[in-house]
Amino acid sequence: MPAESNRAGGAEAQPEVHPLAAPLVAGHRRALARAITLAESSRPDHQQEAQRLLAEVLPHAGRSVRIGLTGVPGVGKSTFIEALGLHLTGAGHKVAVLAVDPSSQRTGGSIMGDKTRMPGLTADPNAFIRPSPSGGALGGVARRTREAITLCEAAGHDVILIETVGVGQSETQVAAMTDVFVLLTLPNAGDELQGLKRGIMERADVCVVNKADTDPAATNRAQSELAAALHLLTPRLADWQPRVLQSSALRGRGLEEVWAAVQDFMSSPERVERKRRAQTGTWFDDLLREAAWERLSAGIDVAELRRTRSQVLAGTLTPVQGVLNLMPPTGA
């Protein structure tokens, strides 16, 4: 059989190398941007292509420091990323900045918004900035961001900064996909800390009191209070005690210390590997649950679902009975 017809023949055909793979791995920005766009597309044929490309470049991924950054709006996240990013590109790193905003309905137009927030990095050939993807299908924003991380890594970016833009779920999502999770707070953050979800503080590997220039005494106080609060929590990782530092992103102070803490965290390959494996495991489980639910819910009659739910609420069915009634017979 001629090679051509064999290729078109389906099952045994060897998939061709995706045309974006080589330029992506060579670090061409346009290829990286196009690959991320492909992965963000919800068209089924694009999705298939993107999965193939991701599988192809996967061996080139994984060699970066993935840093998550969170904090209330106005705490200085963009300023901090701009300053740290420029510091790192100046030291020879290739930096990628991604954002996670689960509520994002943004379109191409708002890319400018992100870029004007970080003018220095935007103009820096060793930095790549990408706004938050919008929701969409299976895995939504979190999946698209994880795929963007893989693609950026394959393109040679060795520092990936992932910023939470939205409120709500984005902190948890970012913490679940980064090696080092950094929480930025303010010098007079008493109220802010009270309001901060406990879960977020528990997940922080490094806390930074930013805007130290505005009130050094309050910054020192906030730093000790935060350290004391963190000490009361059970550390998530047995071999890492969260650090509390100070910075002035505006004046470029304290950035080396934050970077040193990040490097310290990364200095144990076992710790990083353990964290990444746990994250991948959780991600797989979540995706599977979501995919299973999507498939199953497509076969559930909505009217029957409503009826069953009312019966459960009225107490004529137990929740377990209700769920079992709605499940398709096993073996079907």
Which CB sits closer to ligand GDP, 246 or 308? 246
- The 8-class DSSP code of residue 156 comes to T
Binder to ligand GDP among 61, 250, 266, 312 (CB under 6 A)? 250
Which CB sits closer to ligand GDP, 80 or 265? 80
- Minimum distance from CB of 69 to ligand GDP (Å)? 9
Q: Is residue 18 a contact point for ligand GDP (CB under 6 A)?
A: no
Residues 84, 188, 246, 180, CA torsion sign: negative
The b/e string for 57-75 (b: 16+ C-beta within 10 A; e otherwise) is beebbeebbbbbbbbeeeb
Q: Which two tokens stand for residue 41?
A: 């597309």
Q: Is residue 59 a contact point for ligand GDP (CB under 6 A)?
A: no
CA distance 268 to 276: 13
97 in Cβ contact with 163 (< 8 Å): yes
Binder to ligand GDP among 248, 258, 261, 308 (CB under 6 A)? 248
Cα separations (Å) of 73 from 9, 114, 163?
A: 54, 14, 11
CA distance 98 to 93: 16
| Helix, coil or strand: residue 37 | helix
Binder to ligand GDP among 64, 70, 78, 145 (CB under 6 A)? 78
- Minimum distance from CB of 248 to ligand GDP (Å)? 4
- Minimum distance from CB of 250 to ligand GDP (Å)? 3
Query: Binding mask 259-288 vs ligand GDP (x if CB under 6 A, - otherwise)?
Result: ------------------------------
Q: Is residue 69 a contact point for ligand GDP (CB under 6 A)?
A: no
Query: Binding mask 205-224 vs ligand GDP (x if CB under 6 A, - otherwise)?
Result: -----xx-xx----------
Binding-site size, ligand GDP (CB under 6 A): 15
41 in Cβ contact with 50 (< 8 Å): yes
Q: Is residue 144 a contact point for ligand GDP (CB under 6 A)?
A: no
How far from chain centre, in Å, is Cα 279? 11
CA distance 219 to 246: 7
Which CB sits closer to ligand GDP, 113 or 319? 113
Binder to ligand GDP among 53, 249, 261, 262 (CB under 6 A)? 249
Chain residue at closest Cβ approach to ligand GDP: 76
The C-alpha torsion from 203 through 290 and 140 to 197, rounded to 10°, is: -30
Binder to ligand GDP among 64, 70, 79, 170 (CB under 6 A)? 79
Residues recorded for the chain? 332
Q: Is residue 317 a contact point for ligand GDP (CB under 6 A)?
A: no
Q: Is residue 73 a contact point for ligand GDP (CB under 6 A)?
A: yes
Q: Spell out where the chain has E strands.
A: 65-70, 95-100, 127-130, 159-164, 180-185, 206-209, 243-246
Q: Is residue 116 a contact point for ligand GDP (CB under 6 A)?
A: no
Q: Is residue 126 a contact point for ligand GDP (CB under 6 A)?
A: no
CA distance 131 to 165: 9
Q: Is residue 61 a contact point for ligand GDP (CB under 6 A)?
A: no
Q: Is residue 67 a contact point for ligand GDP (CB under 6 A)?
A: no
- Minimum distance from CB of 214 to ligand GDP (Å)? 5
Which CB sits closer to ligand GDP, 74 or 328? 74
The C-alpha torsion from 34 through 35 and 40 to 41, rounded to 10°, is: 70
Residue ranges binding ligand GDP (CB under 6 A): 71, 73-79, 210-211, 213-214, 248-250
